[in-house]
Structure formats: structure tokens, C-alpha cells
Structure 1
Amino acid sequence: MQTLRTDVAIIGAGTAGLSAYRAAKAEGASAIIIEGGAYGTTCARVGCMPSKLLIAAAEAAHAVSLAPRFGVLPHGMEIDGKAVMARVRSERDRFVGFVVDGVHALPEADRLVGHARFIDDGLLQVGEHTRLHAKSVVIATGSTPVVPDALSGLGERLIVNDDVFAWQDLPRSVAVVGSGVIGLELGQALARLGVRVTLYGGSHGSVGPLTDPKLIDEAHRLFGEELHFETQGRVVSATRTDEGVTLRYARADGTHSESTFDYVLAAAGRRPDVANLGLANTSLELDAHGVPRFAADTLQAGTAPVFMAGDANGVFPVLHEAADEGRAAGRNAARFPHVEPVARRAPLAIVFGDPQIAMIGKHHRELTQGTFVTGAVSFEDQGRSRVMLKNHGLGHVYVDRATRRFVGAEWLGPAAEHIGHLLAWSLQMGLSVDDMLAMPFYHPVVEEGLRTALRDAASQLDRKG
């Protein structure tokens, strides 16, 4: 058993943890980064990148299925599940390799491998080999999938998104429990690759991150046209059988459905992965879920020299926010007790389904009725979208009545990943709807749909002015 001392200890070598380490070192502090599992960020290993690899394969298959509508008659399509998953794993491993190389490039003395837990406020036990005294600690342990109680006892028939990317072949059927980001992306991708999929929504009937009722209704319709989508209800039971898992679902209208699948994918969200950190041994105040209470602006847990960064805090579980939070947490940990707020960017989140979803700035449910107008566009007859046979979806922009400033948007449509960036940049620059309409819009492009929504908002303001 060795004993070490450092200014800053970072628990977790993911996106937030690595950013925290580099920031602390840049401040001149000594820092040690601790990883209890395999190196490689959530994004690279089981998140953003492998999911996009699966989605890319699904898009290729979908493009072939659409070809006859363009007058292009393919001779036939065969989906080789083993080849699909081989590419997913190979490219995933390549991305992970870049991350691992970056970690190994750090000084060996600054890296510890082993599970970390608190002995007391400033003392960590790492594996069975090290005790580490730290003046400050950054908790950047990421998140872990939530598995509903109704799915317990299914053994290897129960999977989470982490497991999907280890498959050697595609299964015949999957029940996807949860219609959030992970459920939408993986459920649609698997369906397009020939897997029989049923997507089971929760009791609130939500779809991804959407909060605008009109967009939720449209998402129910569009995704329901492509795969079996049980939009609102709850899983009553899931039972192992000789054929796989029989899942019974109680719909919100009082009816039930029952079907059998090879696997059940739990996609009911993720929660901060802090359960095994020994936080009960500290003086930190914990919430009902065992997560330290912390200030969202500084990431500091109470008055302690402990900072929560990335998915471990559950504030904005996306990569660029995790990197920003890691930098802020590492800097604050190194400078403690002098701490500063995180420099937040305009909120932006994207779901890579088809149609894509983009959430920018204030969400619909966060706005006060009467203080804003909603500019809308339907993509059904939007020129470029119709040319590409991607003419489905609905976009809403929200504009403040008093200032005419753009404050947020919820977007369900083609090229939402790109339109979302334009809107996030506009929000961060504090632009008004008039400023945005003064920008160039080429023809014919999908962005003309954004102009339609902005014009709609401006005309409402002008009428009411």
C-alpha cells in the first residue's frame, strides 16, 4: 500500500475528467487522474460514436429502400448483420484508441488505475494499492444506465446501450423500453437494419427531449409510421420464456399489448455513476439519489473542495458541456477557495434520428405563456426537403415579445443538426428575429425552412405591435 499526495485528484478519465486534469495542470497544480474501468470516454466507447456508426449503416439501408421512389430500381438489398456490427466495433475501437493514446501520453506518475472511494473528505482509497491525500477532488465518473424494476431478472436477455456495440450479429427482435434519445436513435436504426423493433414510451408520452406538445404529437406520428411505437404507458411485466422475453405493456388508454422478443433494451435514461464512491464517508450533503448537492454555476459541492463535472452531475449530459465543465472544475479545484462560475455556451442538444431533433436555448415548457410568439414551419412542402424525400417534420422558434430576441427552439426535421448550430450561434450572439432574417439564405436549401419560421414569428410580432 503506497501513500501519495496531490493538489487535485480527478476521479474518472472520461471527457470531463481529462479536461479537469489539463486545466488543473495549467494552473500549476499537481494532479492525479484515476480510472476504475477501461480507458476510453463514454462518447467513444458506448455513446456518440458507435451509435452514429450504427445509424450510418441504417441510413444506407434506408436510402436503398427509398431508391424506387426516385425511379432508381436496385437489384435487391441484403443486410449482413455480422458485417454491420464488425464495422461498428472496428471503427469504435479506432476512436477509443485515440482516447487511450491520449491518456497514455500523460505522465505515468499522474495516472492511477483502480476503483476510487472516499475514506474521508480528503482521503481516497484507490484499489487495494494506494491511499491518496488530495486538497481538492473532481468527481467526473460519468453516468450509468437506468434499468426499470419491471425488467429485473431477465439475465443476458436484458441489455443496455453499452451491450449493443459488442454484438457480433444483429438479433431478430428487440423491445426498446424508453423513448428518450437512446431509445429513439437505437430503436429506429435497428428497425431500418431489419430487426423487428417495438419502442415502448413512458407514462408521460414524451419523445426524446421534446417538450412542445405539437412537436411531440408530430414525432409520435412520424416515428410510429416507421416502427411499432407504443407511445404512452408502462411495462407491467417482462418474463423469460424459451423464445426470449415476453413483455406486457399497459397503455394509457387502459388497453394492453403483449409480445415476445429476443432481447429487451433498457433505454430509460442514465443517472450519475456515484453509488460506489463511498460518499457516505464524507461530510458532503447528498440528495435522495445519493448525489452530492452542488451549485450548478460553480460545480462546487457545498463549501467543500469537491467539484462535480460532466455526466456525473446530470446537468447537461453532452460532450461539449462535459469538456467545458471539466475545465471549470479543474480550474476551480486548483484555485480553491477562489472559484468562478462555468462559462456556459448557448444550450444545444441534438438527436440523430430521422427526422433529427434539435433543442436550442429555452425549451417550450420553460417559457411563460404570453411572453413569446412561436414561429412555425412544416417541412411537408419545403422545397429542398421535398426534392430529397425528406419532407417530414415541424420546426418551432420562440421569440420574446418585448425584445424581439430569439430565445429558443425545438426542431424536428431534416438537417436539424446543422440548423441547430445556426440557431445556437444566433442565441449566443443575442440576435433578434430581425437580425436573423437579415442573414443570407441560399436557394434551394433546407435552411429556407428556418427563414419561414422566423418570418412567421416576425409577422406575429408586427401584427400585435
Structure 2
Amino acid sequence: MGKFDVTVIGSGPGGYVAAIRAAQLGFKTALVEKYDTLGGTCLNVGCIPSKALLDSSEHYSNAKENFSEHGIDVGNLSVDLNRMVERKRAVVEQTTKGIDFLMDKNKVTVFHGLGSFKDQNTLEIKGDEVREISSKYFIIATGSKPASLPFIKIDKEKIITSTEALELREIPQKMIVIGGGVIGLELGSVYQRLGAEVSVVEYMDRLIPGMDADLSKELRKILKKEGMDIQLKSKVTSVERTGDKVEVQFENNKGESQSIEGDICLVAVGRKPYTEGLGLENVGVELDEKGRIKVDEHLRTNVENIYAIGDVIRGAMLAHKAEEEGILVAEQLAGQRPHIDYNLIPSVVYTWPEVAGVGKTEEQLKEEKVDYKTGKFLVRALGRARASGDIDGFVKILSDKKTDEILGVHMVSARAADMIAEAVTAMEFRASAEDLARISHAHPTYMEAVKEAALDATEKRAIHS
């Protein structure tokens, strides 16, 4: 039986980062992963492969729609989806091998197999063989899996989840997406760019419901302009497959019954925590009403030596949130006092243009009765945006009416996923809108929109609007 100081269960972004940090701090560390490759959902069937396909499809869309405007004639275009998928697989393989390298470099012992608690210090690992290891501390980082609706039968052929959507071998003529959140819109965008007709059915009254309402409105406008059919305030009542077709019935926003027929239905109604097979009942680890592992402010479960991080606990299901939590637990075990400001964890949607936000939304500030100012700047006013042709979107900055401290930053823009980092940095140091406005931003860049929005929040001093 192997003996370890820290054992991490799950090798996604939260798990492998926690293992690396624990090893850096001098703990004898083990990492347990039930699949053959490391990296979890994010690297294997989530963030990385979806961005690979998003980039490939965006290249095709640009060549088809925009190159001629730039004086580039590419003639007849075609899509080889199989090659796109193979490239995606290569990107995934390269990335997961990078995690293997990091485990070796940091002397983390890796076990492949399903980890299940026998008691609070012993883990049974069922892989090619059954073995047991003991550990002083455990960090559960088993992540999440796609959720569904009770009446939907996922057949992984015509009625699919995000996992299967990353492996399609044919471009569907008609794709129906149930769910207007991040996953549904990103994967819907991939196949719409490649030529599919895409319909999105969303239960809530807006897309990306957790983000600022202005972002939802702008993204909906852009996606509709690109040809995506969007049904909001629509409750799906049945999903039935007949041969090679799928029919989705729903009640629209007027309470009327409607149906859409397609050849693929992507169910993207969110994700749920994954705890099956962990043997939590053997050690008495408590779950909440949503099946998440209960943790305190130190991310410790009710069992004193067992911690949990990432999608399997409360909070946003984001890879970078899990990473921060993994580092926090490892450093706490080493006697340090790290902290996470959950208000400053950014959210990103990788459509094109991209959508990003951090801090409070305008709706939250109104609900909390906070006096605030708004600064807004349209991307189309930027010289860089006009030069590239990416003119859709805006940057919005919310700041305290009295102190001018930045409370939230929300944007739809080309490269917003990278631009949001400046906002996070500014808010981490509790900068005011005027602080951000007085920083010199290179010209011509998209980042100038952040400066201009900050100027607009500071006594409406924007220069270029």
C-alpha cells in the first residue's frame, strides 16, 4: 500500500493544478484519474477541443464571408469535418501529454482507475488491477458531467450531449440546441459556421442567463443577424427520434405548442456534479440538495481531512475557478493563508465576437440598491475594429457613484476573452474608473474600448464617442 501526504481524485484543471501545487510545497502527492488520459472534461471533451473547433470553424467562416472584402479571392471553399476533428484530437493529445510531463516533472505519482473511499484515510483504486493507497489528506476534484431533462433519452447518435457534438463526422443540415447557455451557443456556433441551420430553444427569457442582460441582448442580436433561430421563454416538452430525424416540441413564450424537426439535437441544459463511485457514503461526506459536495469556507468537507474543489462543489463551473480552489487547498495544507475573491472570477463565452464579464452585473447592483454609474463604448468606434472588420459589440463599466470604484466590467468584442483580464487586474487592486481611464492604452487596439468606457463612466469624458 502506497502512503501519501496528499491525494487528489480527478485530473481536470482543478485536480492536476492542486497536485502540482501540493508537490511544489513538499507534500508527497498522488493523483488518481479513472480515464486513460489526464486533463478531465476541460482538456478532453470541454474547453480545449471546443475552442479548437471554434477556431477552425471561424477560419472557414472568415474565408467564406469576409476574405473578399479584404481583397482575397479563395475560389471554391469546402469543409472537411473529419480533418477538423482530427486536428482537434491532435490538440487534445498534445495538451494531455503536457499534463503527463508536468506530473513527472513535479514527481506526482499518477494512478489510473476509479478511486473509492474505504475509510477517511484509505482509497481503493480499481483499474487494471485493484490497489489501495493511504493518505493524510484528500482533495476531491471529480468535476461534472452533462445534465439532461428527465424525459429526454440521450442516444449519443441523434440526441447528443456536448461530448458527442465534438465528434460529429457529418455537418448536420439542421441542429436543434436545447439550452442557450455557454455550451449550447459555442457548439451551435461551430456548426452554424460550417453550414448547419441552427435553432436554439431556451427556457429563460434571455441567452447566457447568468451574465449581464446587456450582453445577452447584444449576443442575441449578433447571432440572429448571422442566421441563428432563437426561441426564448420556451419550455421543451418532448424530444423524440424517428429514424434519422429528431422532433423537439416546446411551449413558446405565448404558451402555444410548437415543434422543430432536425437531424441532430444537442442537449445543453447545464452540467451536474459527478460523485458516482467515490464511496462518499463510506466516510460520511455530506452532499447538498443539488448533489454537490458540501464544503466550508476553507473548501473542507464535514470530514476534516477531505476537501473538495471545482464543479463538484458550489459556485460557477469554470476551469479557472477550479484551479484557484486547488491552489488554495494545497497552500492551506502547508499553513499558508491564501484567499479567493469569487466576485473577481471572469466568465467568458467563446462565440465570435466573444463575450466576457467580471464583477457585479447591472441587475445585481439594482437588486442590492447600490448607487452606480455606467460607462459604455461601442466597439465600432475603434480604428482597430474598423481595420479588422470586427465592429460588433461594446464595453460597459459599472462604478460606484460616490467612490468611483469599479464594480463590474462587461463586454462583447473580438478578443474579449483576453481583454477581460485588464478589468480583473484593475478590480483586484480596487481601481477606480478614473484610474483605468488614465492608463495609456496602445493605439490602435481593442483595449482602447476599455479606456473609453472608463472615461465615459468618469463624468462622460469618452473621447471617441
Calculate the TM-score normalised by the size of structure 2. 0.89
1:4–1:73 Cα change, 3 Å:
closer
Match for residue 3 of structure 2?
Answer: 5
Please tell me whether the aligned partners of residues 211 and 357 of structure 2 are also in contact (alpha carbons under 8 angstroms). Answer: no
Please tell me whether the aligned partners of residues 244 and 260 of structure 1 are also in contact (alpha carbons under 8 angstroms). Answer: yes
Correspondences of 1:41-190 after superposition (within 5 Å):
41=39, 42-64=41-63, 65-70=65-70, 72-103=72-103, 110-127=109-126, 129-152=130-153, 154=155, 156-190=157-191
Please tell me whether the aligned partners of residues 209 and 216 of structure 2 are also in contact (alpha carbons under 8 angstroms). Answer: no
Match for residue 29 of structure 2?
Answer: 31
User: Quick check: 1:342 aligned with 2:339?
Assistant: yes
Distance 2:219 2:293 in 1: 35
User: Quick check: 1:218 aligned with 2:215?
Assistant: no
Distance 1:316 1:181 in 2: 12
**Larger deviation: 48-57 or 410-419?**
410-419
Distance 1:155 1:303 in 2: 38
Note the alpha carbon deviations across 1:319-356, whole angstroms, 9 max, x for none.
Answer: 33322221222333x44xx6745344832222211121
Match for residue 237 of structure 2?
Answer: 236
Please tell me whether the aligned partners of residues 364 and 410 of structure 1 are also in contact (alpha carbons under 8 angstroms). Answer: no
Please tell me whether the aligned partners of residues 243 and 260 of structure 1 are also in contact (alpha carbons under 8 angstroms). Answer: no
Match for residue 249 of structure 2?
Answer: 248
Correspondences of 1:182-331 after superposition (within 5 Å):
182-201=183-202, 203-208=203-208, 210-226=210-226, 227-295=228-296, 297-302=297-302, 304-331=304-331
Match for residue 458 of structure 1?
Answer: 458
Distance 1:105 1:385 in 2: 43
User: Does the residue aligned with 1:156 lie in a helix, a strand or coil?
Assistant: coil
Match for residue 14 of structure 2?
Answer: 16
Displacement of 1:275: 3.0
Distance 1:19 1:354 in 2: 29
Distance 1:206 1:304 in 2: 42
Distance 1:372 1:292 in 2: 36
Please tell me whether the aligned partners of residues 119 and 281 of structure 1 are also in contact (alpha carbons under 8 angstroms). Answer: yes
Distance 1:172 1:94 in 2: 32
1:352–1:155 Cα change, 3 Å:
closer
1:125–1:36 Cα change, 3 Å:
same
1:50–1:153 Cα change, 3 Å:
closer
**Larger deviation: 48-57 or 93-102?**
93-102
Distance 1:451 1:23 in 2: 36
User: Does the residue aligned with 1:412 lie in a helix, a strand or coil?
Assistant: strand
Match for residue 395 of structure 1?
Answer: 395
User: Does the residue aligned with 2:198 lie in a helix, a strand or coil?
Assistant: strand
Equivalent position amino acid for 2:362 in 1 = H
**Larger deviation: 204-213 or 37-46?**
204-213
Please tell me whether the aligned partners of residues 12 and 43 of structure 2 are also in contact (alpha carbons under 8 angstroms). Answer: no
Correspondences of 1:345-356 after superposition (within 5 Å):
346-356=344-354
Displacement of 1:120: 3.2
User: Does the residue aligned with 1:246 lie in a helix, a strand or coil?
Assistant: strand
Please tell me whether the aligned partners of residues 394 and 449 of structure 2 are also in contact (alpha carbons under 8 angstroms). Answer: no
Note the alpha carbon deviations across 1:121-150, whole angstroms, 9 max, x for none.
Answer: 333222161233332211011211112223
Displacement of 1:373: 1.2
Displacement of 1:83: 2.2
Displacement of 1:265: 1.4
Displacement of 1:106: 6.3
Distance 2:33 2:356 in 1: 33
Displacement of 1:244: 2.3
Note the alpha carbon deviations across 1:366-416, whole angstroms, 9 max, x for none.
Answer: 323442111112334444323332211232111011211112111112221
User: Does the residue aligned with 1:150 lie in a helix, a strand or coil?
Assistant: coil
Please tell me whether the aligned partners of residues 272 and 314 of structure 1 are also in contact (alpha carbons under 8 angstroms). Answer: no
Please tell me whether the aligned partners of residues 8 and 18 of structure 2 are also in contact (alpha carbons under 8 angstroms). Answer: yes
Distance 2:175 2:142 in 1: 29
Please tell me whether the aligned partners of residues 233 and 252 of structure 2 are also in contact (alpha carbons under 8 angstroms). Answer: yes
Distance 1:68 1:438 in 2: 39
Equivalent position amino acid for 2:195 in 1 = G
Please tell me whether the aligned partners of residues 248 and 259 of structure 1 are also in contact (alpha carbons under 8 angstroms). Answer: yes
Note the alpha carbon deviations across 1:36-85, whole angstroms, 9 max, x for none.
Answer: 11222132211222111111111112212123444555423222222222
Distance 2:386 2:114 in 1: 53
Equivalent position amino acid for 1:397 in 2 = I
Q: % of aligned pairs identical?
A: 24
Match for residue 410 of structure 1?
Answer: 410
Please tell me whether the aligned partners of residues 346 and 357 of structure 2 are also in contact (alpha carbons under 8 angstroms). Answer: yes
Please tell me whether the aligned partners of residues 86 and 168 of structure 1 are also in contact (alpha carbons under 8 angstroms). Answer: no
Distance 2:386 2:418 in 1: 18
User: Does the residue aligned with 1:149 lie in a helix, a strand or coil?
Assistant: coil
Displacement of 1:422: 1.6
Please tell me whether the aligned partners of residues 358 and 420 of structure 1 are also in contact (alpha carbons under 8 angstroms). Answer: yes
Distance 2:182 2:134 in 1: 39
Equivalent position amino acid for 2:66 in 1 = L
Distance 2:320 2:111 in 1: 25
Q: Calculate the aligned-residue CA RMSD, in Å.
A: 2.6
